[in-house]
Amino acid sequence: MRKTLHDQAVTFGRYHIGTAPTDLAVQLYTAAMQGKAVPKNEQRLFNLALRHPTLIPYIDAGLVFTNPHAELRRRLFVMFAILETMPEYTALFLSKQREPLYLLFVLCVGVRAVFRTVIGVVITGVFRSARA
């Protein structure tokens, strides 16, 4: 379980910040999730996300609409909050002075987010149907 939680922390950390998180962040995540089980009906999707981390953005996006309180979303959220309090990563969270053209980048992120949501709803929908 400990190894699995460690793996989750690293995987979810990479998803949020693009790199393996600090040991402290991993330690805090592991302690926070110790003893907490993933519901049986969510395990397949949860394990899919861990086995194929490139799918996490899509699954995360889909769950917003199909199961916003899913355990995967909760654990991603916990890791997010932990990372936000690490001084190493404040540059990713604190607001910054941006040039006006940065808006174009944000719009592209928005388009990407919509794309991920559409794919994600399909993926999470398939898993829900399979469960049913």
Partner 1 sequence: MRVHDFIVVGSGCAGAMAAQTLVDAGKNVTMLDAGISPQDQTIPNKDFLTVRNSEPRQYEYFIGKNIEGIGWGKVGKAEQITPPRRHMVQDTDTFLPVSSDSFSPVESLAYGGLGVGWGIGCWAWSPRELKAAGLDAKKMATAYNTVARRIGISAQEDDAQKYTLGQLASFQPATTMDRNHLRIFNRYQNAKAAFSRQGFVMGRAPLALLTKRLGSRKPYGYKDMDFYSDADKSAYRPWITVDQLRHHKNFTYIGNKLVVRFTETNNTVHVDCIDITTKKEASYLCKKLVLAPGVLGTARIVLRSLGDNNSRLPVLCNPYSYVPCLQPAMVGKAAEPRKLGFAQLSLFLDEKRHNFGASMASLYGYQSLMLFRLIRQVPLNFADARILLQYLLSSVVIMGIHHPDSQTSDKHLRMQPDSTSPTGDRLMAHFALSREEQRSRRHRERKYMAAARKLGLVPLKRIDPGFGASIHYAGCLPFSKQQRPFALAPNGKLYGTKDVYVADGSGFAYLPAKGLTFSLMANAHIIATNAAHEKTK
Contact status: 129 vs partner 1 (CB under 8 A)? no
Return the range that interacts with partner 1 (CB under 8 A); candidates 37-45, 47-55, 105-113, 121-129.
105-113
Report how far residue 116's alpha carbon sits from residue 61's, in angstroms, rounded to the nearest whole number.
6
Q: Nearest distance from residue 130's CB to partner 1, in Å?
A: 22
Nearest Cα neighbor of 70 from 78, 19, 103, 96 is 78
Contact status: 121 vs partner 1 (CB under 8 A)? no
Q: Are 18 and 82 in contact (CB under 8 A)?
A: no
Where do the H-state alpha helices sit in 1-132?
2-17, 23-33, 43-51, 56-66, 71-84, 102-131
Contact status: 74 vs partner 1 (CB under 8 A)? yes
Nearest Cα neighbor of 25 from 38, 14, 40 is 14
Contact status: 123 vs partner 1 (CB under 8 A)? no
> Would you tell me which residues interact with partner 1 (CB under 8 A)?
15-16, 24, 28, 31-32, 57-58, 60-61, 64-65, 69, 74, 76-78, 80-82, 84-87, 90, 92-100, 102-103, 106, 109-110, 112-113, 116-117, 120
